[in-house]
Amino acid sequence: MAKALTTLGGYTPKLGGSGGTVYSSVKGKELSLANIDKFDKKVDQLLNRLIKKYGAKSYNMARQLVPVDSGDLRDSIAVRYYEGKSGRSITYTISANMPYAIYVEYGIGQTEQPYIRPAVDTCRAMMEIELRAELRRLCR
């Protein structure tokens, strides 16, 4: 008896077995290049959307967490997006462009008051949760 597990871009893995024999089968039409390419594009689109969403959230959170005296450090915080060499994925960076930014973030010569690391770490965790949920949805 074969049981369907999950559908992945049109591909439905099948498992079965009896009397100590285990087998797996894949129908050729289910595992077509068109289905794989379609799923691959959806995943790329999903990742790029999430990177943009959580890049913006990281930026906003860092601006909320940074200690403010004159506001110059807060105003120097920026988010930048970079396209990968393949053109399929993007990366974001959060930076602060003031000479003393590293001293505030890492506490060099003073008590540290991190603002970029907690923002990025929090948003990375949130993005991973959303990514898992979205991938489950795509694989149905």
How many percent of the chain have pLDDT more than 70?
76
Residues 48 and 5 placed together within one structural domain of the fold = no
User: For residues 71 and 53, is the Cβ–Cβ distance under 8 A?
Assistant: no
pLDDT tens by residue, 46-83:
999 999 999 999 999 999 999 999 999 999 999 999 98
Of residues 32 and 120, the one with the higher pLDDT is 120
Nearest to 82 by CA among 73, 74, 92, 69: 92
Look at residue 78 in the predicted model and tell me its pLDDT.
95
Same domain, 110 and 49: yes
> What is the total count of domains within the chain?
2
Token pair 């559908």: residue: 7
Same domain? For 55 and 71 the reply is: yes
| Claim to verify: residue 41 and residue 26 sit in the same structural domain | no
Say yes or no: 107 and 45 in one domain. yes
Same domain assignment for residues 73 and 11: no
Domain membership of residue 85 as a residue range: 37-138
Q: Do 55 and 22 sit in the same domain of this protein? A: no
In terms of domains, do 51 and 11 share one? Answer: no
What DSSP element (H or E) covers 46? helix 33-65
Contact indicator for 55, 79 with CB cutoff of 8 Å: yes
Whether residue 23 is found in the same domain as residue 52:
no
Measure the CA angle with vertex 37, ends 93 and 137; round to 5°: 70
Least confident among 20-24, 41-45, 65-69, 84-88? 20-24
What average pLDDT does the chain have? 82
Please give the C-alpha separations between residue 131 and each of 32, 45, 46, 83, 102, in angstroms, as whole numbers: 25, 12, 8, 19, 31
